[in-house]
Structure 1
Amino acid sequence: MKWTLPNILTVLRLLAAPGVAVMFLYFSRPFADWLALSLFVLAAVTDWFDGHLARSWKQVTKLGTMLDPIADKAMVVIALMVIVGYSSMSPWLVLPATVILFREVFVSGLREYLGDTAGTLKVTKLAKWKTTAQMVAIAVLFSQGVFEHYLGMSVFGMDDAMINAILTGIEDDHLGLGWKYQGMIWTGRIGLILLWIAAALTLMTGWDYFRKALPFLKEDR
């Protein structure tokens, strides 16, 4: 195994995947949200760098080729589990997350079954867009948690009447409830839209992989 810089970045990204969940075990919110968001974004950035460097420096290795898709899937799956677990279990969030998780398991199973012929399931440009959409959606949804908990800290001890009065402009907004509330609402909406787009791309790429694998799944006559 060659421990090139691209391979080291891939391994670090793989280790960062469970680290996102660990943040919520050892830190309180919203600090856990901040740390998870920072770790996830940093790991997502290395996803572009390790592939770019490997191709530019002609350091594409078997280790990197094997670990890169695993690291991507681990990041997405674990981050989605954390987001869904700490959410209100809204079907608007659970459904696209379920589609994404199902596709990742399904395609991984296809690759395992095909073995040496799995090279026919090459990563397409659409699959790269799918991964990008997933990571951007997850980063935005993590940022929603940041806004949500800063808002919760600011309204602590207030009743609903006082909160509504501040948000509607009747009372002065000394604590910045307005921008925190708007930040929570818009990151939630944008994150969900992006997640649905990612789920649609996920279905399309999953079907494409299944279609390419069909000739290898036919029974011998």
Structure 2
Amino acid sequence: MNWTIPNILTVLRLLAAPGVAIMFLYFTRPWADWFALVLFVTAAITDWIDGYLARAWKQESRFGAMLDPIADKAMVVIALLVITGFSGMNPWILLPATMILFREVFVSGLREFLGAKAGLLKVTKLAKWKTTAQMTAIAVLFVPGILLHHFIDRTVGMDPEMVDSILSGTLSDEVGLLWLDASRIWAGWIGIALLWVAAALTLMTGWDYFRKALPFLTDEARK
């Protein structure tokens, strides 16, 4: 395997995937959320950069073609596990996340079963849009956790009644609680909406792959 820059970026993206979860082991929130978000977004950007460089410099390789989708799936799966866990198993996040994980496992198993014929399941434009939608949704879904913990930090020393009074407008908002709370809510719903879009695209690409593989799944195909 040649250690070209595109291949190095792909390997780094693969290593960054578990790093998203590790951030929460070594840092307190919201710093863990910030570091996980920066790491995830940086790794997601390299997904476009390594592909562009490989084509521009004619450095496309079998190793890169094999590892690139694995790195993408590892990033998405691990980030979804982290977000689902810290969202308190919010069903609006859990359900689309389950749909995405189901499709990724199903398509991976399909490719393994097809073996040499797996090349028929080529990455389509829709699949690329699916990956982009997943990564965008995940990046946005990191934001509510960040805003929530900044909100908590600013309410240190306040009793619940004072916080409620500020949010209801009875007391003056001197520390920006209203802005943080509204931003957290909007970021959460936008992220959830994007995740459902990503889940829909994910299922569409999964069905497309299954349809293409169907002729090779019959008993007649073995003859």
TM-score normalised to structure 2 length:
0.97
1:162, distance to aligned residue in structure 2 (A): 1.3
Cα offsets for 1:117-154 (capped at 9, x unmatched): 11100011111111000000000011111001111111
1:155, distance to aligned residue in structure 2 (A): 1.8
1:167, distance to aligned residue in structure 2 (A): 1.8
**What is the aligned partner in structure 2 of residue 99 from structure 1?**
99
The CA distance in 1 between the partners of 2:177 and 2:38, in whole Å, is 24
Q: Which has the larger displacement, 154-163 or 94-103?
A: 154-163
**What is the aligned partner in structure 1 of residue 139 from structure 2?**
139
Cα offsets for 1:8-42 (capped at 9, x unmatched): 00000000000000000111111100000000000
**What is the aligned partner in structure 1 of residue 115 from structure 2?**
115
1:166, distance to aligned residue in structure 2 (A): 1.1
Query: Counterpart amino acid of 2:83?
Result: I
Tell me, yes or no, if structure 1 residue 218 matches structure 2 residue 218. yes
Query: Counterpart amino acid of 1:2?
Result: N
What is the root-mean-square deviation of aligned Cα atoms in Å?
A: 1.0
The CA distance in 1 between the partners of 2:42 and 2:22, in whole Å, is 16
The CA distance in 1 between the partners of 2:157 and 2:208, in whole Å, is 53
1:161, distance to aligned residue in structure 2 (A): 2.4
The CA distance in 1 between the partners of 2:15 and 2:179, in whole Å, is 35
The CA distance in 1 between the partners of 2:100 and 2:128, in whole Å, is 14
**What is the aligned partner in structure 1 of residue 166 from structure 2?**
166
The CA distance in 1 between the partners of 2:53 and 2:123, in whole Å, is 18
The CA distance in 2 between the partners of 1:25 and 1:160, in whole Å, is 29
The CA distance in 1 between the partners of 2:88 and 2:142, in whole Å, is 14
Matches within 5 A, 1:32-181: 32-181=32-181
Q: Which runs of 5+ in 2 are unaligned?
A: none
The CA distance in 2 between the partners of 1:81 and 1:8, in whole Å, is 26
Query: Counterpart amino acid of 1:65?
Result: A
1:65, distance to aligned residue in structure 2 (A): 0.3
Percent identity of the aligned residues? Answer: 69
Query: Counterpart amino acid of 2:214?
Result: L
1:168, distance to aligned residue in structure 2 (A): 2.7
Query: Counterpart amino acid of 1:184?
Result: R
Q: What is the number of residues matched between the two proteins?
A: 221
Q: Which runs of 5+ in 1 are unaligned?
A: none
Query: Counterpart amino acid of 2:62?
Result: K
1:54, distance to aligned residue in structure 2 (A): 0.5
The CA distance in 1 between the partners of 2:199 and 2:209, in whole Å, is 15
Query: Counterpart amino acid of 1:151?
Result: F
1:177, distance to aligned residue in structure 2 (A): 0.5
The CA distance in 2 between the partners of 1:195 and 1:204, in whole Å, is 14
The CA distance in 2 between the partners of 1:31 and 1:158, in whole Å, is 22
The CA distance in 2 between the partners of 1:9 and 1:137, in whole Å, is 22
Q: Give the 3-state SS of the residue equivalent to 1:199 in structure 2.
A: helix
1:103, distance to aligned residue in structure 2 (A): 0.4
Moved segments of 4+, more than 3 Å: none
